[in-house]
């Protein structure tokens, strides 16, 4: 109130004889107008300027102090009302929590506003990294400060986190109660902060973060301000706890939903597994085959399942399935090894179904087990049939007095016709292992392969003399030689070893003349031995392939050594020089030792023939054309030609 406003009122009252104005009146007017604290000095100053009495001035001073107390009380109530309103709004935000970041941002904004600080911020502990990071800032302008990470126990925040008590500093850089670090001090310096107040965010007895209020000038934070920031910190901790609970609840609900989906899915899978179990059981009981199992599993698994031989399946995946006992994934397929007693029989391969859940995987594995049982059953039946076939062939080889009618009946039950033309074949492995068990296993594999071939060709097979003997029918358009060579290739492929096969000449009426089987077998053995002596392992031949030499090839003769001693010099000379001395020598004997006919046969000049024969004489010696030497040379030439690899 100005001097002009106060003095007329006082004068008029005095002049009119009215009672004097009370000392409280001007201050009540100031309270009503919400004037600043400085305005309350004006009535006292005006009274002194007008020369009022000391009593009057004392009354005004007392009224001023009373008014200022009233004003402070009103300001405090308004401030508390604002604080309570802010806390209520924050609690309301927390009750309807949807966005944790938005709630934390509102807490920091309100704390800064009510405390009247330049900056407010909130940091949270990171248990995984073992430090603290800035979560929310308000009023900050420095990027480095906003991205600051504090190690546990560092800075003012570290002190708050360690003690779980509020801490305040009037001048951050002069305070040595906490640990200063270069990174923290640099961030605080960038932001220009001086006075900092920090209060802990606690859940139970654990500090999870710190709420800060800071000024860029020296400042003393009052107890009420510390308490207010602590209230906001409690709400922030509650917000974090609520958010964590909501997250856990949502996660639990999501897990529950996924569990329900899995249960529904597993229910369908179990039904499919039960269906395939019923189908596989029916197949086993009704004599179904391997391909029937594959078809049933294909339908249940909604893919394509096939049985594959072990040689056609990727070795790494097959071995992994075998060793682990489970189906394994290979590229876009699933492979389940079919194993029986440690023996690998093949695999079930599922195509077109790269994603396979555990139950479906177990279904495929169960199908592989059923397949192994079927294969074992089929093998047992086949082995029984093989034994019967072997027994019949043994009787034909050894018991020549059997009744022809009974022999025919036994053969008919095996789908063999003893009245048809047959060839007896002797087969042996070339590479026999030194280990007795390995040798027995190799011979067993040869016998199994020969028995399978005999069954498919309506013939007979038996193990004999360390090898295998087969009795196979001969078609009218076929020859014993061609049959021997095919058999050698087939058995060699089946056992993965070289198999040499000697064949007899065709034989007929075996039921009537069973002794012919033994004679034919002996002939097949001689042919087999001849192939070995001629250095043709893994090949097949019949007696007709050797001409008159077939009568000479018996016993243990060194054919290769004989050829080398007789014409080895000529062979070596041709190999070194690229000449045709060996061919010329062969043509010379074929033409009755006539140079003239030899030159016509070779289409060269007679002088060329003479020169070549002269070279042969120098290599073989001067008596090479004598009758004895000429016979040896011709025999060596024939043996050398027969021992050459057959062009197929």
Greater model confidence, 93 or 646: 93
> What length is written for the chain?
648
Torsion of CA 68, 71, 77, 79, to 10 degrees: -90
**Of the listed ranges 194-208, 291-305, 376-390, 399-413, the one predicted with least confidence:** 376-390
How high is the pLDDT of residue 188? 93
Q: If you average pLDDT over residues 483-511, what whole number do you get?
A: 89
Greater model confidence, 73 or 609: 609
Q: Residues 459, 346: one domain?
A: no
Please check whether residue 38 lies inside any domain of the structure.
no
Please check whether residue 53 lies inside any domain of the structure.
no
Structure tokens given for 613: 């024969």
Q: Which CATH number fits the domain that encloses residue 473?
A: 3.30.70
For residues 231 and 87, what is the distance between their CA atoms, to the nearest angstrom? 8
pLDDT > 90: percent of the chain: 19
How high is the pLDDT of residue 14? 41
Q: Residues 109, 195: one domain?
A: yes
Q: Please check the confidence at residue 193 and state whether its pLDDT lies above 90.
A: yes
Which of 506, 519, 510, 422 has its CA nearest to residue 472? 422
Q: Which residue has the tokens 């050797």?
A: 546
Q: Residues 568, 532: one domain?
A: no
Q: Residues 548, 573: one domain?
A: no
Whole domain around residue 637: which residue ranges?
Answer: 559-643
Structure tokens given for 636: 């060596």
Select the highest-mean-pLDDT range: 63-77, 240-254, 492-506.
492-506
Per-residue pLDDT tens digits for 297-313 = 777 777 788 888 877 88
Q: Residues 173, 309: one domain?
A: no
Per DSSP, what are the bridge partners of residue 212? Answer: 121, 198
Of 250, 276, 295, which residue sits at a domain end?
250
Which of 546, 576, 555 has its CA nearest to residue 480? 546
Of 229, 250, 271, which residue sits at a domain end?
250
Q: Which CATH number fits the domain that encloses residue 138?
A: 3.30.450.40
Per-residue pLDDT tens digits for 582-591 = 999 999 999 9
**Sign, CA torsion 557/559/560/562:** positive
Residue pair 601/587 in contact by the 8 Å Cβ criterion: yes
Per-residue pLDDT tens digits for 220-243 = 888 888 888 888 888 888 777 877
How high is the pLDDT of residue 166? 92
Q: Residues 103, 155: one domain?
A: yes
Structure tokens given for 93: 């935000």
The number of helix segments (H) and strand segments (E) in the chain equals 21, 15
Report field, pTM of the whole predicted structure over 0.85: no
Q: Residues 513, 435: one domain?
A: yes
Please check whether residue 127 lies inside any domain of the structure.
yes
How high is the pLDDT of residue 494? 85
Which of 11, 483, 67, 196 has its CA nearest to residue 187? 196
Q: If you average pLDDT over residues 289-295, what whole number do you get?
A: 76
| pLDDT averaged over every residue in the chain | 80
Q: Residues 291, 347: one domain?
A: yes
Please check whether residue 6 lies inside any domain of the structure.
no
For residues 403 and 397, what is the distance between their CA atoms, to the nearest angstrom? 14
| Beta-sheet strands, E only, within 152-230 | 167-169, 195-203, 206-215
Q: Residues 549, 637: one domain?
A: no
For residues 330 and 356, what is the distance between their CA atoms, to the nearest angstrom? 12
Please check whether residue 66 lies inside any domain of the structure.
no
Greater model confidence, 543 or 516: 516
Q: How confident is the model at residue 572 (pLDDT cuts 50, 70, 90)?
A: very high
Residue pair 632/621 in contact by the 8 Å Cβ criterion: no
Q: Which DSSP helix (H) or strand (E) runs through 426?
A: strand 422-429
Q: If you average pLDDT over residues 121-132, what whole number do you get?
A: 88
Q: Please check the confidence at residue 391 and state whether its pLDDT lies above 70.
A: yes
How high is the pLDDT of residue 118? 94
For residues 445 and 447, what is the distance between their CA atoms, to the nearest angstrom? 5
Please check whether residue 89 lies inside any domain of the structure.
no
Greater model confidence, 545 or 460: 460
Q: Residues 345, 408: one domain?
A: no
Domain count, the chain: 4
How high is the pLDDT of residue 95? 58
How high is the pLDDT of residue 217? 92
Q: Please check the confidence at residue 195 and state whether its pLDDT lies above 90.
A: yes
Q: Residues 129, 234: one domain?
A: yes
Q: What angle do CA 345, 346, 349 make, to 5 degrees?
A: 155
Q: Residues 408, 485: one domain?
A: yes
Please check whether residue 31 lies inside any domain of the structure.
no
Q: Please check the confidence at residue 532 and state whether its pLDDT lies above 80.
A: yes
Please check whether residue 409 lies inside any domain of the structure.
yes
Which of 399, 360, 637 has its CA nearest to residue 515? 399
Of 498, 523, 553, which residue sits at a domain end?
553
């Amino acid at each position: 109130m100005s001097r002009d406003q106060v003095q007329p009122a006082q004068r008029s009252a005095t002049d009119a004889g009215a009672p004097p104005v009370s000392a409280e009146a001007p201050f009540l007017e100031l309270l009503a107008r919400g004037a600043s604290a400085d305005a309350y000095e004006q009535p006292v100053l005006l009274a002194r300027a007008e020369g009022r009495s000391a009593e009057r001035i004392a009354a005004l001073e007392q009224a001023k102090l009373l008014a200022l107390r009233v004003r402070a009380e009103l300001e405090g109530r308004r401030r508390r009302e604002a604080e309570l309103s802010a806390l209520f709004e924050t609690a309301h935000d927390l009750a309807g929590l949807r966005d944790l970041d938005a709630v934390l941002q509102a807490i920091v904004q309100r704390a800064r506003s009510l405390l009247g600080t330049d900056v407010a911020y909130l940091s949270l502990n990171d248990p995984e990294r073992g430090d603290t990071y800035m979560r929310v800032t308000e009023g900050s302008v420095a990027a480095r400060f906003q991205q600051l990470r504090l190690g546990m126990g560092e800075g003012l925040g570290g002190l708050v986190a360690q003690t779980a008590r509020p801490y305040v500093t009037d001048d951050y850089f002069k305070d040595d109660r906490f640990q200063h670090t270069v990174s923290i001090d640099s961030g605080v310096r960038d932001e220009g902060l001086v006075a900092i107040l920090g209060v802990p965010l606690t859940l139970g007895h654990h500090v999870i973060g710190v709420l800060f209020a800071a000024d860029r000038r020296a400042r003393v934070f009052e107890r009420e301000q510390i308490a207010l920031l602590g209230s906001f910190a409690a709400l922030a901790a509650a917000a974090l706890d609520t958010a964590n609970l909501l997250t856990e609840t949502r996660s639990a609900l999501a897990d529950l939903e996924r569990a329900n989906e899995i249960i529904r899915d597993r229910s369908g899978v179990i039904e499919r597994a039960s269906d395939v179990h019923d189908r596989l059981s029916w197949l086993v009981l009704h004599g179904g085959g391997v391909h029937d199992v594959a078809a049933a599993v294909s339908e249940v698994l909604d893919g394509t399942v096939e049985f594959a031989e072990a040689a056609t399946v990727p070795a790494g995946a097959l071995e992994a399935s075998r060793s682990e006992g489970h189906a394994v994934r290979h590229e876009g397929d699933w492979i389940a090894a079919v194993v029986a007693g440690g023996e690998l029989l093949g695999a079930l391969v599922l195509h077109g179904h790269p994603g396979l859940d555990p139950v479906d995987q177990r279904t495929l594995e169960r199908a592989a087990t059923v397949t192994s049982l079927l294969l074992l059953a089929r093998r047992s039946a086949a082995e029984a049939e093989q034994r019967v076939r072997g027994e019949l062939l043994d009787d034909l080889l050894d018991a020549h007095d059997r009744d022809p009618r009974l022999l025919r009946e036994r053969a008919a039950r095996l789908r063999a016709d003893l009245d048809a033309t047959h060839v007896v074949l002797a087969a042996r492995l070339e590479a026999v292992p030194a280990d007795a068990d390995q040798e027995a296993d190799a011979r067993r594999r040869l016998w199994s392969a020969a028995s399978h071939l005999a069954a498919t060709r309506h013939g007979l097979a038996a193990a004999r003399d360390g090898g295998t003997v087969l009795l196979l029918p001969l078609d009218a358009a076929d020859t014993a030689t061609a049959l021997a060579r095919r058999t050698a290739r087939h058995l060699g492929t089946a056992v993965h070893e070289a198999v040499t096969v000697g064949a007899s000449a065709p034989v007929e009426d075996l039921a009537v003349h069973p002794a012919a089987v033994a004679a034919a077998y002996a002939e097949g053995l001689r042919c087999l031995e001849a192939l070995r002596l001629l250095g043709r392992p893994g090949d097949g031949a019949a007696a007709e392939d050797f001409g008159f030499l077939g009568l000479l090839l018996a016993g243990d003769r060194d054919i290769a050594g004989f050829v080398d001693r007789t014409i080895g010099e000529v062979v070596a000379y041709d190999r070194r020089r690229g000449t045709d001395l060996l061919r010329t020598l062969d043509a010379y004997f074929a033409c009755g030792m006539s140079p003239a006919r030899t030159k016509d046969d070779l289409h060269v000049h007679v002088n060329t023939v003479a020169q070549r024969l002269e070279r042969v004489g120098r290599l073989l010696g001067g008596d090479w054309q004598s009758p004895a030497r000429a016979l040896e040379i011709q025999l060596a030439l024939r043996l050398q030609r027969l021992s050459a690899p057959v062009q197929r």
